[in-house]
Amino acid sequence: MSPSALRPAPLPAGPAPDAAQPAALRARLASHIQRRGALAVLVLMVAIASATSDTFPTWSNISSILGNNAFVWLLALGMTFVILTGGIDLSVGSLYALGGVLGAYGAHTGGTWLAIVLPLAVGAVWGSVQGLLVSRAGMAPFIVTLAGLLGARGLLQALTDEGATTYLVPPGSAFRHLGAGTWTPVLIVVALFALGALLLTRTRFGATVTALGGNENAATLMGLPVARTKVLVYVLSATLAATAGALGSARLGSGVTTIGVGYELTAIASVVIGGTLLTGGSGSIGGTASGVLVLAVIHNLIDHYFSQYGSAFTDTVNGAFLAVVVLAQTLLSRTRQTD
Amino acid sequence: MVQQDPAPRSDWIVEVAGVDKSFAGVHALRGVDFRLRPGEVHALIGENGAGKSTLIKVMTGVYRPDAGRIRFAGEDRAFRNPLEAQAAGISTIYQEVNLVPLMSVARNLCLGREPRRFGLVDVRAMNRLAAEALKRYGVDVDVTRPLGSLGLGAQQMVALARAVQIDARVVVMDEPTSSLEPREVETLFSVIRDLKRQGIAVVYVSHRLDELYAICDRVTVMRDGAVVHTGEMAGLERLRLISLMLGREMSTVRAKGATAFGGEHERREGVPALRATGLTVRHRVHGVDVDIHRGEVVGLGGLLGAGRSETAKAITGALATDGGAVEVEGTELARRSPAAAIKAGVVMLAEDRKTEGILPNLSVRENISLALLPRLARAGVVSQAKQDEVVRFFMERLRIKASGPDQKVSDLSGGNQQKVLLARWLCLDPKVLLLDEPTRGIDVGAKAEVQALIDELAEQGLGVLLISSDLEELIEGSDRIVVLKDGRAVGHLEGDDVSEQAVLDTLATADPADGAEPTGDDAQASEDAGSAVRAEAAVPTEATEATEPTEPTEAVGDEHPQDRSRSAGHAVTKEEPR
Amino acid sequence: MTPTTWAGPDLLDRARLTRLLQAYGVYAALVVLFVVAAVLDSSFLSAGNVRIQLFQVAPTLMVALGMALVIGTEGVDLSVGAMIALAASVVPLYVGYGAPLAVLVALVFGAVSGAVGGTMVAFARIQPIVATLSLMIGLRGVAELINGNSAKPVMNSGLLSLGSDGFAGVPLMAWIAGVCAVLTALLVRRTTFGRQLVAIGDNRQASKLAGLPVRRVLVTVYVLSGVLAAFAGAMIVGHGAEADPAHQGLNMELNAITAVVVGGTPLTGGRVRVLGTVAGALFMQLITAVLTQHNVHTSYTQLVEAAIICFAVYASQERGTR
């Protein structure tokens, strides 16, 4: 944003030029808070945590934050695309678990190659079914993916004899390397986030995603491939979720059937905290990255200071945080619109 | 079915021949022929429901015709979607700007055809392209700004630039000026002239006859899904154009409009039923005062965007006000909300029937009794007997044609829906009725009934505020008229002054106080265009004073002397009800 | 994505069929399922089995009734499952003062949470999905904070009888759910509030302009949903004789939405079908029961349920007039 943007244009930039200046400034500020708020909060929290805690800034702590959670962040990456179109994907938690089982099953029976391809393929098919129901049958995304949440769990249970069988990744399998240590997961995730950012900002697909979330009618009339793009975002989200699950199983060494419950909520929270509008049309991958890190740091601090309450406290904070952010977003976007 | 082309095939860029289109058994288009020459500006006009939009949508691939054929550049084409039409060279800009407000100007301009390098969008090239393209249309803005932060006029220009950029050979403009200011209209016209020079054909849909005469070469008039006239714009008398659109004989139009309004009403003196003072809504309404006495119809005149609907909404509290007070029979309303206004006896028939009026999935009964429910209930339980009584009474009284009170309201015709809404308000026994475009988009029969009803209600002592873009309706229906311009009351017409001439003169001469003028050096350039308009408009100032209806004076760009031969200014700038 | 339709000769027939399916499909499906179940397994109609089914369907129905009201306003309440967990965590704390008080406290919690969600929807104008989603996450956390992770046994006789006693051979829980259904039906059909609720769901803007107390109605709807869910939670605790917030109420929002949607209430609001919701809840209960009784794995049951949800939503939004 260059300062030159503030000078008046030959055609009126606002409905009433006499009042436009302060309103425009306010709107500009609001838009900045919206987009960069998460990053600011992240920096602030890291600073405070580093200053007040001895254990937070240690390498072992940071590597545990990064290594243990990185794959789950991929759910937020896929979710960003879905939310940008104005949709929502509640099935990613189940698909994460399903991907884990498939990955372990693949590694168990066919080696690394199958461990990677199987979850990818199942995720893509699952996502395309959801996407088709949303875009072609015109069904509400939340209900389709809610059914997807149920169905993916069902499929997982069926694969594991109702959870009785746990597939192990063979100890010597090369697949395990993908999830080992701190750097491999982090590098994989960072690379995928970078690719995601490129996809969103520098391709026509990305532009279509944002456009159709901003004004679906306009996108259709402009001749953008709306239906196809909608299907693709659900494919992307489901595939990423299944892949993340598979990578998670590589780290854990087995396909854990009970994992992933409620992950979709954390993913949505991360995306929203990262400044992506839940109504679609505005948001960024960078914001989502800040969002996942904010939540990760919060959880780490809670684990550290309130460990006696366990994950329950984390959930409460998650919910409250989400509510506050959404509230703030609503107010901010209202400020932007009154301009 | 193939017609003999009157001209060699290369003469037409678009030929629509014998196109039929119906929706659920209702004919929207019947055997429509429409031809377009390269480099011409072709006006497409007709009343609402005449089939203009359907024709446009058939041409641009949104709908597919049931029968008939479409030839584009001499080839038979059947566009399956807007994208195909665009690729072939037919671009459309719609009435509401159909872009993505949250995305940047450059993004909007290039969506779907961004310049790419190594397979990735070249953002820098995109921004440069966008800035260059826009400069040609007199828009100099930072193209990285979100589109939504621009004014509507600038947004419309972006839409236009986008439409033309795709190597368009035909540009369809659906009411492009409805949200533009006069000087922006000038810019648009110069762009259109530029398109003409490039040999691009323009289909121009507008309700503003002045604009049609100013910019269009030929005209096609549609009525009831069929083409009733095609010909040169010049030489077509304005009155004839109107009568073609309305399907009425010229003599009727000339003599007395077809409204069902009677004479003057007897205004009851004393404390006004409603007194609004200093109503202010930021950017929209600037200190408007309105008095409505019992038994009179006060008209609210003005052009689109003058703040008429906003004033009505501000009175009822549907729009948050930034200042002003509303008194009902001398008592000021403390709380401002639709609920409070209704309680005090002030009700408003909203302009947009679909989004602000009907409950589409509910029955006629529910729709009528909606606001009355609390008064029909005891301890929260609705008395069905009372409800039926009220509903039956009003269905008979207003002659609502429905299979019964249980019919879904969305299955009714527009006119009957409007009557249902009127019943909703009348059953509350209001003191003041605010009517925002009460006859828009309803058939002629229902229109007359509604107009007669307004008359009758006023006679019974109701205070009525009437907003209508149909000048004839406004004049004949109102006892007094408050003329608004740019959110300010610029004229109060009473008695013999309530005439189309007076309203037009007021609109043409009134110069609302400063403040609306843009600041900064850029304003200087636009000032020239604006002052030119004003200088022209300044002439008829005397005519306002004169009681004699002298020669009618047109506002802008009238170059057709034959129009002046009309006896009176009847229906001069009659806007088409939408 | 254009609203074009290809008016074929079968359009009218198809439209009528769709309308019939939307109006009576759930009842027909319920009857067919019932007959099939009875034919396949003679013990299906035994008093014992019917009682079991009624015990299980009662809480779902209670939640679904509240959900139907919320969906009628074009909203959705995802927090009901968490609300059950919260009720389950609160009940053991106050059960020492007697079952009525414990239940009452749970209901108050339900009302307060519902009010929070309703306020976010009505005043801050946050989308219902998001508002109740954040409640869903938060409330489950609060429930586990209150209760801890382990299940607590509940021995209070009052609560136990609420959960397992019967009257005239029918479980008390089913009676309560039935009464709630009748009350809800009356509320929707006969009261000002009910009609206003439906009107708001059909066209919020028009309702506001007609002077309806839109915000008050919306908040009340979410409060009702919260209270009904809390009551269901208390019943579940009584029936199971233990409070287990970590597991009780899981997926309940999904079951409730399914019952409502299968019952023919459109997700787009403007319509509440209470009897349909009852039939929808029964249908989903029976189908699960039949599949389970015939040794179909829960995994396949879940897949079948997912398919039914999709079909029901698809059928309900197919407009006959299009």
Torsion from C-alpha of A139, A141, A143, A144, nearest 10 degrees: 80
The residues in A 277-296 lying below 8 A from B, measured between CB atoms, are 277, 281-282
CA dihedral for B90, B95, B101, B104, sign (positive or negative):
positive
B245 & B294 share domain: no
Give mean pLDDT, residues B183-212: 85
Question: Number of residue pairs across A and B with CB atoms under 8 Å?
Answer: 142
B174 & B297 share domain: no
Evaluate whether A323 touches C134 at the Cβ level (below 8 Å). yes
Q: B466 pairs with which residues across the strands?
A: B299, B435
Least confident of A41-45, B434-438, C101-105, C190-194: A41-45
Q: pLDDT tens digits, residue range B395-454?
A: 999 888 888 898 888 888 778 899 999 999 999 999 999 999 888 777 767 788 888 899
Q: Which residues of B touch C209 (CB under 8 A)?
A: 316, 318, 338, 348, 350, 356-357
In the prediction, which pLDDT does B212 show? 85
B141 & B26 share domain: yes
Give mean pLDDT, residues B62-71: 88
Q: Which of B53, B356, B418 to mutate to test the interface with C (most CBs of C within 10 A)?
A: B356
Pick from B95, B25, B93, B17: nearest CA to B58? B17
What is the CB-side half-sphere exposure of residue B330 using CA atoms within 13 A?
A: 2
Pick from C262, C284, C283, C288: nearest CA to C273? C262
- Assess A323–B contact: CB distance below 8 Å, yes or no: no
In the prediction, which pLDDT does C102 show? 92
In the prediction, which pLDDT does B392 show? 93
Neighbours of B401 (CB within 10 A): 14
- Rounded to 5 degrees, φ, ψ at A33 are -60, -45
Q: Which of A311-320, B333-342, C177-186 has the highest mean pLDDT?
A: C177-186
SS3 category, B395? helix
Strands (E), B475-538: 480-485, 488-494
B198 & B307 share domain: no
In the prediction, which pLDDT does C2 show? 42
Label residue B568 by pLDDT band (50, 70, 90): very low
Domain assignment present for residue B493? The answer is yes
SS3 category, B362? coil
The minimal CB distance from B82 to the residues A14, A16, A223 is found for A223
Question: What distance in Å separates residue B355's CA from the closest CA in chain C?
Answer: 7
Question: What distance in Å separates residue B429's CA from the closest CA in chain C?
Answer: 14
Q: Which residues of A touch C136 (CB under 8 A)?
A: 265, 319
Label residue B49 by pLDDT band (50, 70, 90): low
Q: Which residues of C touch A318 (CB under 8 A)?
A: 137-138, 141
Q: What is the CATH number of domain A34-338?
A: 1.10.3470
Q: Considering only alpha carbons, which residue of chain A is nearest residue B185?
A: A11
Domain assignment present for residue B224? The answer is yes
Give me A294's structure tokens: 């904010």
Number of continuous H segments (helices) and E segments (strands) in chain A:
12, 0
In sequence order, what DSSP letters do the residues of C96-157 get, joined into one string?
Answer: GG-HHHHHHHHHHHHHHHHHHHHHHHHTS---HHHHHHHHHHHHHHHHHHHH-SS-EE---H
Higher-confidence residue of C129 and B246: namely C129
Domain that holds residue B118: 9-255
B223 & B113 share domain: yes
Element (H, E) at C28: helix C11-40
CA dihedral for C255, C261, C265, C266, sign (positive or negative):
positive
* Helix residue spans in A111-225 (DSSP H): 112-135, 141-159, 183-202, 204-214, 216-221
Question: What distance in Å separates residue A280's CA from the closest CA in chain C?
Answer: 12
Indicate yes or no: CB of C202 within 8 angstroms of CB of B361: yes
B89 & B140 share domain: yes
- Assess C295–B contact: CB distance below 8 Å, yes or no: no
Indicate yes or no: CB of A154 within 8 angstroms of CB of C124: no
Give me B259's structure tokens: 């409204």
d(CA B537, CA B554): 8
d(CA A194, CA A179): 19
In the prediction, which pLDDT does A168 show? 87
Give mean pLDDT, residues A124-148: 91
d(CA C213, CA C225): 19
The minimal CB distance from B339 to the residues C199, C202, C213 is found for C213
The CA-based diameter of chain C, rounded to the nearest angstrom, is 69
Q: Considering only alpha carbons, which residue of chain C is nearest residue B360?
A: C202
In the prediction, which pLDDT does B48 show? 61
Domain extent listing, chain C: 26-32+45-317
- Assess A198–B contact: CB distance below 8 Å, yes or no: yes
In the prediction, which pLDDT does B533 show? 35
The minimal CB distance from C309 to the residues A147, A156, A278 is found for A147
Higher-confidence residue of A145 and B402: namely A145
Pick from A204, A293, C73, A288: nearest CA to B359? C73
Label residue B255 by pLDDT band (50, 70, 90): very low
The CATH number given to whatever domain includes residue B504 is: 3.40.50.300
- Assess B152–C contact: CB distance below 8 Å, yes or no: no
Least confident of B174-183, B484-493, C229-238: B174-183
Label residue B531 by pLDDT band (50, 70, 90): very low
Per-residue pLDDT at C104 exceeds 70:
yes
Q: Which residues of A touch C298 (CB under 8 A)?
A: 154, 157, 162
Indicate yes or no: CB of A223 within 8 angstroms of CB of B81: yes
Label residue B506 by pLDDT band (50, 70, 90): confident
Per-residue pLDDT at A26 exceeds 80:
no
Evaluate whether B46 touches B38 at the Cβ level (below 8 Å). no
- Assess C4–B contact: CB distance below 8 Å, yes or no: yes
DSSP letter at C149 equals S
- Assess C318–B contact: CB distance below 8 Å, yes or no: no
ipTM for the assembly: 0.83
In sequence order, what DSSP letters do the residues of B264-291 get, joined into one string?
Answer: ------SS-SEEEEEEEETTTEEEEEEE
- Assess A136–B contact: CB distance below 8 Å, yes or no: no
Domain assignment present for residue B109? The answer is yes
In the prediction, which pLDDT does B219 show? 93
Indicate yes or no: CB of C135 within 8 angstroms of CB of A144: no
Q: Considering only alpha carbons, which residue of chain A is nearest residue C245?
A: A312
What's the mean per-residue pLDDT of chain B? 78
Looking at CATH, the fold of the domain delimited by C26-32+45-317 is given as ABC transporter involved in vitamin B12 uptake, BtuC (1.10.3470)
For residue B216, count CB atoms less than 10 angstroms from its CB and return exposed for 0-12, middle for 13-18, buried for 19 or more: buried
Per-residue pLDDT at C80 exceeds 50:
yes
User: A316: Cβ–Cβ under 8 A, 6 or more apart, which residues?
Assistant: C137, C138, C141, C142, C145
- Assess B231–C contact: CB distance below 8 Å, yes or no: no
Q: pLDDT tens digits, residue range B456-503?
A: 999 888 999 999 877 778 888 889 999 888 788 888 888 878 877 777
Least confident of B156-165, B211-220, B339-348: B156-165
Element (H, E) at B150: none
- Assess A3–B contact: CB distance below 8 Å, yes or no: no
In the prediction, which pLDDT does B508 show? 66
Give me B478's structure tokens: 């109102």
The minimal CB distance from C306 to the residues A147, A158, A310 is found for A147
Q: Considering only alpha carbons, which residue of chain B is nearest residue C15?
A: B24
Q: How many residues does chain B have?
A: 578
Neighbours of A59 (CB within 10 A): 8
What's the mean per-residue pLDDT of chain C? 86
Evaluate whether C78 touches C229 at the Cβ level (below 8 Å). no
Domain assignment present for residue B261? The answer is no
Query: Where does residue B94 fall: left (phi above 0), alpha (psi -120 to 50 degrees), or beta otherwise?
Result: beta
SS3 category, C185? helix
Per cent of chain A over pLDDT 90 is 36
Give me B307's structure tokens: 């703040």
Indicate yes or no: CB of B151 within 8 angstroms of CB of A11: yes
Q: Which residues of C touch A216 (CB under 8 A)?
A: 1
d(CA A314, CA B301): 60
CA dihedral for B526, B529, B530, B532, sign (positive or negative):
positive
Evaluate whether A94 touches A202 at the Cβ level (below 8 Å). no
Q: Which residue has the tokens 């976010």?
A: C120
Q: Which residues of C touch A153 (CB under 8 A)?
A: 299, 302
Evaluate whether B537 touches B485 at the Cβ level (below 8 Å). no
In the prediction, which pLDDT does A309 show? 66
Q: Domain total for chain B?
A: 2
In the prediction, which pLDDT does B179 show? 67
Evaluate whether B505 touches B544 at the Cβ level (below 8 Å). yes
Helical pair C252-262 and C47-72, crossing angle rounded to 10 deg: 80
Question: What distance in Å separates residue B560's CA from the closest CA in chain A?
Answer: 31
Neighbours of B119 (CB within 10 A): 8
Range B549-570 burial, b when 16+ CB lie within 10 A, else e: eeebbbbbbbebeebeebeebb
Neighbours of C17 (CB within 10 A): 14
Range B422-440 burial, b when 16+ CB lie within 10 A, else e: bbbbbbbebbbbbbbbbbb
Task: Note the pTM of the prediction, 2 decimals.
Answer: 0.78
CA dihedral for A298, A300, A302, A305, sign (positive or negative):
negative
The minimal CB distance from C138 to the residues A151, A157, A315 is found for A315
* Whole-Å CA distances, B270 to B275, B277, B281, B327, C227: 12, 17, 29, 14, 54
Q: pLDDT tens digits, residue range C22-69?
A: 778 888 888 988 888 888 887 877 888 888 889 999 999 999 999 999
In the prediction, which pLDDT does C85 show? 93
Domain assignment present for residue B366? The answer is no
Q: Which residues of C touch A149 (CB under 8 A)?
A: 254
B158 & B191 share domain: yes
Amino acid identity of C78? L
Per-residue pLDDT at A332 exceeds 60:
yes
- Assess A29–B contact: CB distance below 8 Å, yes or no: no
Q: Which of A204, A209, A222 to mutate to test the interface with B (most CBs of B within 10 A)?
A: A222
Label residue A50 by pLDDT band (50, 70, 90): confident
- Rounded to 5 degrees, φ, ψ at A297 are -65, -45
Q: Which residues of A touch B159 (CB under 8 A)?
A: none
CA angle B487, B491, B495 (to 5 degrees): 140
Indicate yes or no: CB of A217 within 8 angstroms of CB of B150: no
The residues in C 238-277 lying below 8 A from B, measured between CB atoms, are 270-271
Give me B405's structure tokens: 């009170």
Q: Which residue has the tokens 């959930």?
A: A315
Q: Which of A237-246, B174-183, B231-240, B302-311 has the highest mean pLDDT?
A: A237-246
- Assess B92–C contact: CB distance below 8 Å, yes or no: no
Indicate yes or no: CB of A326 within 8 angstroms of CB of C306: no
Indicate yes or no: CB of B64 within 8 angstroms of CB of C4: yes
Pick from B371, A142, A146, B414: nearest CA to C268? A142
Q: pLDDT tens digits, residue range A176-201?
A: 888 887 888 899 999 999 999 999 99
SS3 category, B55? helix
Per-residue pLDDT at B522 exceeds 50:
no
